[in-house]
Chains A and B, each alone.
Chain A
Amino acid sequence: MAVTDLLPPSERKGRQRPGATALRSMAAGALLRGPLISFVFVLGLWSVVGVLQLVPESIFPAPWSVWSATVEMWANGTLPNDLSVSRSRAAIGFTIGASLGVALGLMTGRIAVVRTLLNPFLTVLRPIPAIALVPVAIVWFGIGEGSKYFVISYTVFLTVWFNTHHGMEYVPEVYLRAARSLGVSRLREFLTVIVPAAAPYIFAGLRLGVALAFLSLVAAELSGASSGIGYRLQEARQYIRTDRMFSLLIILGLMGATVDLIVHRISRKLVHWEQS
Chain B
Amino acid sequence: MTNDIKEGHVRVEDVTINFAGKSGPVTALDTTSVELKPGTFTALIGPSGCGKSTLMNAIGGFVTPSTGRITLDGTPITGPSTKVGVIFQQYGLFPWFTALGNVRFGLKRYGLPKSEEIDRARAALDEVGLGAHADKFPQQLSGGMKQRVAIARTFAVGPKVLLMDEPFGALDAQTRLVMHDLLLDVWQKHRATVLFVTHDVDEALLLADDVRVMSQAPGRLIRHYEIRQPRPRALSRSGSDLLATRDEIIDLLRPAGALADVH
Residues of A participating in the B interface, judged by any CB pair closer than 8 Å: 174-175, 177-185, 188, 192-193, 196, 199, 271-273, 276
Contacts and interface: CB of A to CB of B under 8 A. Distances in A.
B140 interface: yes
Contact of A184 (B60, B86, B90, B109): B109
Contacts of B131: none
Q: Which 8 A-B residue pairs are closest in the complex by CB-CB distance?
A: A273-B95, A178-B92, A183-B82, A180-B80, A182-B106, A196-B96, A174-B92, A181-B80
Interface string B129-164: 000000001111000000000000110010100000
Given A177-B60, A196-B94, A273-B137, A182 B88 contact: no
A182 B106 CA distance: 5
Contact of B108 (A178, A184, A196, A273): A184
A182 B60 contact: no
Contacts, number: 66
A145 B84 CA distance: 58
B8 to A, nearest CB: 15
A180 B79 contact: yes
B223 to A, nearest CB: 29
Interface string B100-123: 000001101100000000000000
B199 to A, nearest CB: 19
Interface of B: 60-62, 79-82, 84-86, 88, 90, 92-97, 105-106, 108-109, 137-140, 153-154, 157, 159
7 contacts: A180-B79, A181-B61, A181-B81, A182-B82, A182-B106, A183-B157, A276-B140
B201 to A, nearest CB: 26
A185 B109 CA distance: 8
A251 B86 CA distance: 55
* Consensus secondary structure, chain B interface: loop
* Consensus secondary structure, chain A interface: helix
Given A181-B80, A181-B84, 4 more contacts: A178-B88, A181-B159, A272-B137, A276-B137
A177 B85 CA distance: 10
Contacts of B96: 196, 199, 271-273
A270 to B, nearest CB: 9
A188 B106 CA distance: 11
A184 B108 CA distance: 7
Contact of A181 (B86, B138, B140): B86
B89 to A, nearest CB: 9
A273 B139 contact: yes
Nearest to B80: A180
Contacts of A271: 96
Contacts of A181: 60-61, 80-82, 84-86, 154, 159
Contacts of B92: 174-175, 177-178
Contacts of A185: 109
Contacts of A273: 95-96, 137-139
Given A182-B153, A276-B140, A177 B94 contact: no
A199 B93 CA distance: 16
Contacts of A182: 82, 105-106, 109, 153-154, 157
Contacts of B95: 273
B149 to A, nearest CB: 11
B64 to A, nearest CB: 14
A179 B82 CA distance: 10
Contacts of A276: 137, 139-140
A184 B102 CA distance: 12
B62 A177 contact: yes
Nearest to B138: A273
B105 A192 contact: yes
Nearest to B96: A196
A272 B81 CA distance: 30
Nearest to A276: B139
B57 to A, nearest CB: 8
A180 to B, nearest CB: 4
Contacts of B82: 181-183
Contacts of B137: 272-273, 276
Contacts of B88: 174, 177-178
